[in-house]
A and B are shown apart, each in its own frame.
Chain A
Amino acid sequence: MPLLEIRNLKVEFATAKGPFKALDGVDYTVEAGEVLAIVGESGSGKSVAMLAVMGLLPDTATITADKMEFEGRDLRTLSAKERRKVIGKDISMIFQEPIASLNPCFTVGHQLEETLKAHTTLGRRERKARVIELMKAVGLPKPEERVSAFPHQMSGGQCQRVMIAMAIACAPKLLIADEPTTALDVTIQKQILDLLVKLQQDSGMGLIMITHDMGVVAETADRVIVQYKGNKMEEADVLSLFENPQHAYTRALLSALPENATGDRLPTVSDFVGAGGF
């Protein structure tokens, strides 16, 4: 049984200009211990699917799916309360803006403790110890001092580490990372990616990397889903995707990478497919 299985997921938003289809019948399967990358440009609906799983979409969204199961439990029929139990404990998520994702009014130690309090039965002292342990695990230097630091006293990379610590606090079975390194510098990005992959390998959890960056995909993923305008273009394991992309859009994306430039001009998507899209 796969960890997460979604069949024919459709998401529609009500807007001033009428309904907008963000996802048009996409399937996702994630096995335990696997790194799945969902890659696409803005408007491809790459984040929407996972937000739908987490129940984080606004009221204007209509979500339909033939199947949406986590470890065999149907997420569609779960009550809000049961859902909260699963989300945050078994599935957790980290976002693009680490500094904005933390509450500026509380110390990071306190925020980590809150997460533990909500989802575990640990006592006060055990929680404190676990917080230090978690901060060590995500590679924050001097965790004993950092516990009482406020988010604004830390850099973006450190905040992202705290977010990751919070996400893995309850040893989730699935971690969803939504553009976790887009707001960070390259050297920090490298560290965070290495950390995520290491944590994933050590714990054997499933990891979904949502990204627009082919480089990030190449560095982390086992399997890749390429999305464009709410549709799945291609799904392949990472090596065959880069070695032998099947879909025209994937080829376009890969050749638009400046490092793959041959000659004076960069090829663009419209060089591969008609201007009308797919």
Chain B
Amino acid sequence: MTKSTSTELATETVLERESRNATKAMLTEFWYYFSQNKGAVIGLVVFAVLVAVALLAPLVAPHDPDVQYRDALLQPPFWQDGGSFAFPLGTDAVGRDILSRLIFGSRFSLFIGVVVVTIALVGGIVIGLVAGYARGWVDTLIMRVMDIILAFPSLLLALVLVAILGPGLVNAMIAIAIVLQPHFVRLTRAAVLAEVNRDYVVAARVAGAGHLRLMFKTILPNCLAPLIVQATLSFSNAILDAAALGFLGMGAQPPTPEWGTMLAEAREFILRAWWVVTFPGLAILITVLAINLVGDGLRDALDPKLKRS
């Protein structure tokens, strides 16, 4: 090469700019299709607020979630008789501020979602890739095991697992991840089967790519779209399951301000103090709904079949 250094530098910057532009164009297109779905945008905003609240919990919450105000047991929310702005959403049976507990509880819910989805996604991708790529008896074995897991009612299986592992938030998360995993395995396998005979995979093989490279670098990136959608939907599922386990006393243990656990503690006050049950329930509902809406929007944006040219 007998190029002068200045032109070489020039081409370098041009190349870099073009490469960045290409990435940007992909993102712009993604956002266009995502933003067509108004529900998804609303869901995304709600979810973003939720994340912000969770991160800034100590700053946002008016009270410490574990402090018990003995002179304000079961105080109703501020707009009812007997309520006050000191405890905007009222207090529970031992005088803890519900709003603060909900705010800190969002940390647990999001944490549960992230951890569970990560475990299930990584495990599901690896197992599904192997099954779809190897075919034969490996595939059969893996898929039958997954079928067995899927044959159990998911919450029941999670309960059994927690019973074996012992109650607690971490064990509950592991149990939920195991229960959700087969969905990812099946989805990955189906996507791999669709991709593996495409010409570009064969071309990579002709170029000399080995099995691992074919699986993870060539095929996997093209299977991600349905997995991302499934991951968001599983995120909300994980939150729901964790709340259910918490409600049954098998998840997070009191006094952790986890939403499901809060519901469980409030069970006996349903008739006397509606706010103790309603607000944690609403928090779960809104969070799950928001995430599902985002998942819907992602499906619109990522599924090429729905794209109009």
Contacts and interface: CB of A to CB of B under 8 A. Distances in A.
Interface of A: 13-17, 58, 60
Q: What 7 pairs across the A-B complex have the smallest Cβ distances?
A: A16-B32, A16-B29, A60-B308, A58-B308, A16-B33, A15-B309, A16-B28
A14 B308 CA distance: 9
Nearest to B33: A16
A14 B307 CA distance: 11
A61 to B, nearest CB: 9
A97 to B, nearest CB: 16
Contacts of B309: 13, 15
B304 to A, nearest CB: 13
Interface string B269-309: 00000000000000000000000000000000000000011
A15 B309 CA distance: 6
Given A13-B308, A13-B309, A16-B29, 9 more contacts: A14-B308, A15-B308, A15-B309, A16-B28, A16-B32, A16-B33, A17-B29, A58-B308, A60-B308
B306 to A, nearest CB: 11
Tell me the interface secondary structure of chain B in the complex.
helix
Contacts of A15: 308-309
Interface of B: 28-29, 32-33, 308-309
A19 to B, nearest CB: 13
Contacts of A60: 308
Nearest to A14: B308
A60 B28 CA distance: 19
A43 to B, nearest CB: 11
A10 B122 CA distance: 50
Contacts of B33: 16
A16 B33 CA distance: 7
A58 B308 CA distance: 8
A63 B107 CA distance: 51
Nearest to A61: B308
B110 to A, nearest CB: 31
Contacts of A16: 28-29, 32-33
B21 to A, nearest CB: 13
A16 B32 CA distance: 6
B35 to A, nearest CB: 10
Nearest to A16: B32
A129 B33 CA distance: 50
Most buried by B among A14, A16, A17: A16
Contacts of A14: 308
A58 B305 CA distance: 13
12 contacts: A13-B308, A13-B309, A14-B308, A15-B308, A15-B309, A16-B28, A16-B29, A16-B32, A16-B33, A17-B29, A58-B308, A60-B308
Most buried by A among B29, B32, B309: B309
Contacts of B32: 16
Contacts of A17: 29
A230 B213 CA distance: 43
Nearest to B29: A16
A60 B309 CA distance: 9
Contacts of B28: 16
Contacts of A13: 308-309
B164 to A, nearest CB: 46
Contacts of B29: 16-17
A106 to B, nearest CB: 23
A159 to B, nearest CB: 22
Nearest to B307: A16
Nearest to B28: A16
A142 to B, nearest CB: 34
B187 to A, nearest CB: 24
Most buried by B among A13, A15, A58: A15
B151 to A, nearest CB: 28
A90 B31 CA distance: 43
A16 B26 CA distance: 11
A13 B309 CA distance: 8
Contacts of A58: 308
A85 B308 CA distance: 27
A81 B309 CA distance: 27
A17 B32 CA distance: 9
A131 B111 CA distance: 63
Nearest to A18: B32
A13 B32 CA distance: 15
Most buried by A among B29, B33, B308: B308
